[in-house]
Amino acid sequence: MFRISSLRYILMFIILVLLQVVILNSISFLSFAIPLVYIYFIIKLPIRLSQSAMLLLGFALGFAIDIFSNTPGINAAATTLLAMVRRPIMSIFFLTEDYAETEPAISTLGISTFVKYIILMLLVHIIALVVLESFSFFNIKLILLRVVCSTAISAVLILGFEGFSTSKQSNKTWRKV
């Protein structure tokens, strides 16, 4: 049966891909950093989602970005890698058994744990993306600068999305009481 949460994830997928491809891919801060917010989809997927579904969704997300950005599989490889290491990264910061049916959020994990989780996920993805894109370690300072700047900008935007999402949920909860 098709649930409302499935529709929510489908809409999130479409909106984040369009936002990334139409707006954010054309934005470059200081010629080093490109905000990469489409991985917010992978970050927000339910904790108990199976590994095979996670890999499939990660590949589909990266492939969609690759198609619209005209990049030859770089995003698909980086997002599939991120989907593969998501569960081990989650186990570093929190016990997945404690959050069986939820998705990672500030409201469930706390701000510090959620920020650490986002930054590590962003670092894994952006390092893979930049290394695949440059295909060398010749100019390591430039690679590190791109990774740090892109991670910082992406983290701020993702935390903004999460803050908006959390405040919207808390308003719904407040109205119910």
Is the confidence at residue 100, as pLDDT, over 70? no
Closest CA relative to residue 106, chosen from 124, 118, 91: 118
Confidence of residue 174 (pLDDT cuts 50, 70, 90): very low
Each residue's pLDDT tens digit, 5-19: 788 899 999 999 999
Residue with tokens 């929190």: 94
- Span of 78-92, 138-152, 160-174 with lowest mean pLDDT: 160-174
For range 123-128, the mean pLDDT: 95
Q: What is the pLDDT of residue 29?
A: 76
For range 109-127, the mean pLDDT: 93
Confidence of residue 177 (pLDDT cuts 50, 70, 90): very low
Confidence of residue 1 (pLDDT cuts 50, 70, 90): very low
* pLDDT: which is higher, 84 or 164: 84
Instruction: Compute φ and ψ for 110, nearest 5 degrees.
Output: 95, 155
Reduce the DSSP state of residue 70 to 3 states and report it. Answer: coil
Question: How many angstroms separate the CA atoms of 109 and 113, rounded?
Answer: 6
How many structural domains comprise the chain?
A: 1
* pLDDT: which is higher, 107 or 99: 107
Is the confidence at residue 99, as pLDDT, over 70? no
Q: What is the largest CA-CA distance in the chain?
A: 59
For the stretch 141-170, what's the b/e string if a residue is b when 16 or more beta carbons lie within 10 angstroms of its beta carbon? eebeebbebbbebbbebbbebbeebbeeee
Domain ranges, residue 20 = 4-176
Q: Count of CB atoms within 10 A of residue 127's CB?
A: 18
Each residue's pLDDT tens digit, 34-91: 899 999 999 999 888 889 999 999 999 999 999 999 888 999 999 999 999 999 998 8
